[in-house]
Amino acid sequence: MIENQSDNIDIKENDVSNQGNVPEDTSSAEDKIIENDKLSSQKIEEINTEELKNTISNNDARLEQLEKEHETLKNQYVRISADFDNFRKRQSRDQDDLKVQLVSKTLTAVLPIVDNFERARQQLKPESEEAQALHRSYQGLYKQLVEVLKQQGVAPMRVVGQQFDPNLHEAVLREPSEEFEEDLIIEELQRGYHLEGKVLRHALVKVSMGPGKQNSQEEVEKDTVEESIDSEENTSEDV
């Protein structure tokens, strides 16, 4: 009986000692788990940070590439837009030039008819009543033709007394003149015309050489003749 009690006491002491050791092992395990969790968290944070840095770096590189592509496309757009605008202006200008050329060609073919009307008006001097009626009808047609040309932008040149300009005039004759200075137009031989500010047909004109040209030429010829006579006289005296 006494032995059983002592055994029970020993068992209880062992249990108490075992119970005292258990908390120490459990706390160390928990510390290890917490430490492992901390290490895992740090590793995960480091990995996430590295991945974030790589992602940011890649995004920056991609953004820079996209900006370059955008700048390139923008320059291409500006260049194409400018080329198209120049092409449109050139096409419009070419169409206008073609239109002017066609109109000029047509009107130039009509101008000789106008010249014939003007010559006939200057030469004809109707005396009878019938001739005068015909002349008035003739002049009416001439006025209609001139009005049509005017509506198309054709305007005659006024050249007599003007300075000779090879861009506007074509000199057919040059002669001395006491009335007009040199290079002034004396007479209009064929009328010139403008078409909307451009030369449709050059005017055929007679241009002044200025006063004294003819006299100077006569004096030169006279001096030449006199020198020839003097030379002949000297030759005869020597003989």
- When pLDDT is averaged across residues 218-233 and rounded to a whole number, the result is 50
Q: Supply the Cα-derived Rg of the chain in whole angstroms.
A: 58
- Report whether pLDDT(197) > 90: no
- When pLDDT is averaged across residues 75-79 and rounded to a whole number, the result is 91
d(CA 214, CA 60): 92
**Three-class secondary structure of residue 185 per DSSP:** strand
C-alpha distances in Å from residue 32, one per residue of 22, 45, 237:
16, 20, 155
C-alpha distances in Å from residue 227, one per residue of 215, 217, 223:
18, 15, 6
Q: For residue 100, which amino acid is it?
A: V
Which pLDDT band holds residue 226 (cuts at 50, 70, 90)? Answer: low
Q: What confidence score (pLDDT) does residue 185 get? A: 92
d(CA 37, CA 131): 130
124 or 203: which carries more pLDDT confidence? 203
18-76: per-residue pLDDT in tens? 444 444 455 566 666 666 666 677 777 777 777 787 888 888 888 888 888 889 998 99
The percent of residues in the chain predicted with pLDDT above 70, rounded, is 71
Q: What confidence score (pLDDT) does residue 227 get? A: 54
Q: What confidence score (pLDDT) does residue 27 get? A: 59
127-150: per-residue pLDDT in tens? 777 777 877 887 888 888 889 889
Q: What is the mean pLDDT of the chain?
A: 77
- Report whether pLDDT(207) > 90: yes
185 neighbors 162 (Cβ within 8 angstroms): yes
